[in-house]
């Protein structure tokens, strides 16, 4: 049986509703709006009455500041209501946390929780105004309008491992058939890559692959994992005339000299990646990186230091890592900024060190820009800025990570593409870090939850070119490449074209 409960902050505590009311009045210019209510809606399946009664005012609401309603929430006549929930398969932290808390009350409870936020708009509003409010409150990348009626069941139909499809006839596909299959599946790898995979399975495996195997290969060959964009060969370099032209040109010439010293006669492609790492390679060749900690695991920049602990000198490892999530934060600010910090945290942790300090540097357009001046196909700058800050802080607070430096730069250059950078530092005693290489016969234990809406392709989006239709076809692929709004160019002013 599915139960439904609503929780709404009492007057004076309804800060979110008050802020949304002012936001809509200021940015959407909806004069007829007189009040806004924001109500948390939970649907719960598999919960007995006793546990439900205990959870009502301990998990779903707080009696001192919330009003809780069973099944139906009172709404004034003449007001308009709509609910917003995450897209199917998108991770919902609030729903998951509620389910875990219920299991603390009753370890035997096998519950499913679905969460939605109910917005109630009070006042005399036209259909156009209501549609504008919906567009303002719903980011179609991760959410959609939810049904107001209570569902009969909450469980989603899941694919079992035994039901995973084998791509019959894959190894016998002609080049034309392989190209058609490449288009159908929307692979990030190139057609040449897919032909290489076919040859491998035909000659080495002597079988057809499963769709999961192809998706995993596609993920590991994507730009997110291999950064192929940064390894693209640069054939010619020109310098535009400007204030810093000579300085940039001199730096580039220094880079070419360093290449000669590092590589000698060895051929090496000139690329953005080589530009980024040439300094470190030069220092290493000159023997000036004695404190660098090297291993087969490349997780983060790791150095060896001497640290005084309780009057004794110990060997420690210090790790640094940064992560950029520019486009993910551009299109899905909360999750993009949260996983920006999460990615930076992940690698030092996988290197077995404790992460204890962070830094955030971001670039945004003017968040005071009027909503009507937002570029076509873009979220408003104020929405990106505010939701990204909440996403970053949400992840950091859950981990317990302090951020000592937070800087946001406001400039029109960030209107077309936001900058979102998270960086962390971590450390651990050197003898706490144990390394061993895998060997044939080792067992692999996979621990984790169900695959979400992005499936196995969640990182492949960064290898694709994107248009405005990408939001429908691959919106769940968190890692995004450059968004090419080709369709909007014909209607753009020269100034807006320059921003792109």
- Do residues 365 and 415 make contact, with C-beta atoms less than 8 angstroms apart? yes
| Distance of alpha carbon 413 from the chain centroid | 22
pLDDT band at 300 (very low <50, low <70, confident <90, very high): confident
Q: With bands split at pLDDT 50, 70 and 90, how would you rate the model's confidence at 360?
A: very high
* DSSP secondary structure, 218-262, as one string: HHHTSHHHH-GGGGSPP-------STTHHHHHHHHHHHHHHHHHH
Q: Are 465 and 482 in contact (CB under 8 A)?
A: yes
Handedness of CA 278, 279, 284, 289 (dihedral sign): negative
Instruction: Give the model confidence (pLDDT) of 421-462 as tens digits.
Output: 999 999 999 998 888 888 888 888 777 666 555 555 555 655
Tracing tokens 């084998």 back to the chain, one arrives at 166
What angle do the packed helices 245-263 and 272-285 form, to 10 degrees? 60
Six token digits for residue 324: 């950029």
What domains are defined for the chain? 2-146 (no CATH), 161-221 (1.10.8), 291-440 (3.30.1330.10)
Please write the tens of the pLDDT for every residue from 80-111: 999 999 988 788 889 999 999 999 999 999 99
Taking only the tens place, the pLDDT of each residue in 481-494 is: 333 333 333 444 55
% of the chain surpassing 70 pLDDT = 86
pLDDT score, position 165:
86
Distance CA 214, CA 181 (A): 12
Is the pTM of the predicted complex or chain greater than 0.75? Answer: no
Q: Calculate mean pLDDT across residues 101-127.
A: 94
For residue 328, what pLDDT band results from cuts at 50, 70 and 90? confident
The yes-or-no verdict on residue 46 having pLDDT over 70 is yes
């Amino acid at each position: 049986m599915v139960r439904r409960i609503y929780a709404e902050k009492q007057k004076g505590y309804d800060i979110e509703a008050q802020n949304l009311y002012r936001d809509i009045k200021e940015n959407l210019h909806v004069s007829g709006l007189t009040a806004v209510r924001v109500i948390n809606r939970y649907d719960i399946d598999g919960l007995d009455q006793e546990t439900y009664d205990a959870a009502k005012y301990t998990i779903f609401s707080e009696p001192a500041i919330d009003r809780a309603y069973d099944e139906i929430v009172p709404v004034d006549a003449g007001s308009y209501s709509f609910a917003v929930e995450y897209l199917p398969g998108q991770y919902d932290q609030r729903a998951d946390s509620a389910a875990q808390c219920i299991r603390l009350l009753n370890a035997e409870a096998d519950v499913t929780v679905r969460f939605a936020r109910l917005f109630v708009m009070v006042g005399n509003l036209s259909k156009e105004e209501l549609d504008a409010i919906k567009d303002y409150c719903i980011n179609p990348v991760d959410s959609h309008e939810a049904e107001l009626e209570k569902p009969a069941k909450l469980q989603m139909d899941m694919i079992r491992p035994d039901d995973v499809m084998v791509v019959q006839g894959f190894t016998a596909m002609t080049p034309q058939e392989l190209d058609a299959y490449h288009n159908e599946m929307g692979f990030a790898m190139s057609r040449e890559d897919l032909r290489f995979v076919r040859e491998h399975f035909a000659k080495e495996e002597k079988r057809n692959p499963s769709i999961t195997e192809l998706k995993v290969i596609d993920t590991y060959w994507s730009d997110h994992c291999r950064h192929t964009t940064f390894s693209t060969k640069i054939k010619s370099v020109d310098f535009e005339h400007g204030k810093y032209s000579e300085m940039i040109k001199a730096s580039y010439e220094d880079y070419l000299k360093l290449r000669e010293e590092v590589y000698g006669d060895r051929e090496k492609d000139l690329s953005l990646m080589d530009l980024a790492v040439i300094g470190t390679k030069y220092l290493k060749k000159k023997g000036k990186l004695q404190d660098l900690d090297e291993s087969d695991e490349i997780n983060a920049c790791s150095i060896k230091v001497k640290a005084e602990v309780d009057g004794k000198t110990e060997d420690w490892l210090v790790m640094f890592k940064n992560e950029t999530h520019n486009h993910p934060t551009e299109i899905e600010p909360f999750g993009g900024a949260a996983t920006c910090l999460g990615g930076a945290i992940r690698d030092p942790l996988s290197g077995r060190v404790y992460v204890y300090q962070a830094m955030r540097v971001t670039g945004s357009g003017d968040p005071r820009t009027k909503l009507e001046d937002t570029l076509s196909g873009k979220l408003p700058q104020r929405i990106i800025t505010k939701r990204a800050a909440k996403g970053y802080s949400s992840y950091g607070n859950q981990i317990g990570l302090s951020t000592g430096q937070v800087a946001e730069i406001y400039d029109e250059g960030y209107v077309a593409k936001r900058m979102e950078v998270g960086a962390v530092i971590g450390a651990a005693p050197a003898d706490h870090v144990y390394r061993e290489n895998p060997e044939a016969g080792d067992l692999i234990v996979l621990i984790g939850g169900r695959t979400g809406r992005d499936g196995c392709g969640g990182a492949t989006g960064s290898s694709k070119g994107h248009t405005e239709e990408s939001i429908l076809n691959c919106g769940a692929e968190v890692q995004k490449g450059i968004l090419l709004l080709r369709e909007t160019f014909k209607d753009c002013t020269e100034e807006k074209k320059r921003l792109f």
